[in-house]
Amino acid sequence: MSDFLFFIEVSLAGLGSGALLALTALAFVLIYKATRVVNLAVGEILMLGGYLFFAFAAGAGLSPWLALPLAVVGGGILGAVVERGIIRPMLGEAAISVFMVTVGLGSVLVGFTELIWGADPRSLPAFISTKPLFLGEAYVSRKIAVAFVVAAVVIGVFLMLFRFWRGGVALRATATDQAAAYSCGINVPGVFSIAWIIGCATAAGAGILLGAIGGISPTMGVFGLSALVVVIVGGLDSILGALVGGLALGLIQSWTSTYLGGEYTNVVTFGILIVALMIRPYGLFGTHEIERL
């Protein structure tokens, strides 16, 4: 019986980190959907979100509840600057060139962070109570539960927006045919900016939640690679795919590291990627016309 309880606890922890994966995957999906750019710097923007929160809360001594929105806004501003300064001038270039630019951007952000805050891991000021939470008899870390709820709410809001807000429809239209959208009166450059702003703000928010659980370090952007696995498996242009894929990968990673050992986590994660690419190269929920990189 206690084995089963343990399994439930492991699974709940997996769902918690899975929700963060889904949230990060959402950042990939939003940007890809609007601009057809795979932004490999999402992981580093996530990391920077954690550090911005650290700077506002620990450095400037602000209340965590003020530092949180400031750091998210900071991520959004970074997104706007990157889109306007780097991505838009590359409009019409080959997808692979833009992709490589985002790889470079990721490295620049890591270097920038190490210059300012140093390479050592740090822990974020506590803003979520550490009191344990029990679901029935199963123990869940409160931080992980909070991360799960926040991620679930944010993803729910995005799903609603895409269905009911005309801006969401404009984004879908832009993704389908930029020229047609432009001539239908949709402000295509504006859609690009908004997608980058919201995508990067989402990544920054995920970074704060992730940092609250496991601390921050310049290398935490690696988390973005797991999220990339989620979007590739779930479909680069599918919000639902990000949600389902994120939760599934979180569970699988949690089970793997508990029952097989932590060293198997990456083997299994990227093994899933390889198998998925062999079976469904456009993702489980994605549309068929995505080009392969």
Residues forming the site for other proteins (CB under 8 A):
161, 164-167, 169-170, 172-173, 176-177, 179-188, 287
Nearer to other proteins, 102 or 174 (CB): 174
Residue number with CB closer to other proteins (5 or 184): 184
Residue 121, Ramachandran bin (φ over 0: left; ψ between -120 and 50: alpha; else beta): beta
Query: Shortest approach of other proteins to residue 166 CB, angstroms?
Result: 6
- For residue 154, the minimal CB distance to other proteins (Å) is 14
Residue 180 backbone dihedrals phi, psi, to 5 degrees: -65, -40
Closest to other proteins by CB, 10 or 169: 169
Q: How far is the CB of 176 from other proteins (least distance, A)?
A: 4
Could you tell me the smallest distance in angstroms from the CB atom of residue 208 to other proteins?
23
Q: How far is the CB of 26 from other proteins (least distance, A)?
A: 18
**Cα separation, 29 vs 159, whole angstroms:** 12
Instruction: Name the residue type at position 3.
Output: D
C-beta of 93 vs 177, nearer to other proteins: 177
Neighbouring CB atoms inside 10 A of 176's CB total 12
Instruction: Report d(CA 135, CA 289) in Å as an integer.
Output: 43
Q: Which residues pair with 138 in a beta bridge?
A: 135
CA distances from 254 to 69, 122, 130 (A): 30, 23, 21
Dist. CA 104–CA 39, nearest whole Å: 11
- Residue 179 Cβ, how far from other proteins at the closest point, in Å? 6
Cβ atoms within 10 Å, residue 59: 14
For the chain, give the number of residues.
293
Nearer to other proteins, 71 or 170 (CB): 170
Report the residue number, 189 or 271, with the smaller CB distance to other proteins.
189
User: CA angle, corner 60, sides to 40 and 215, nearest 5?
Assistant: 45
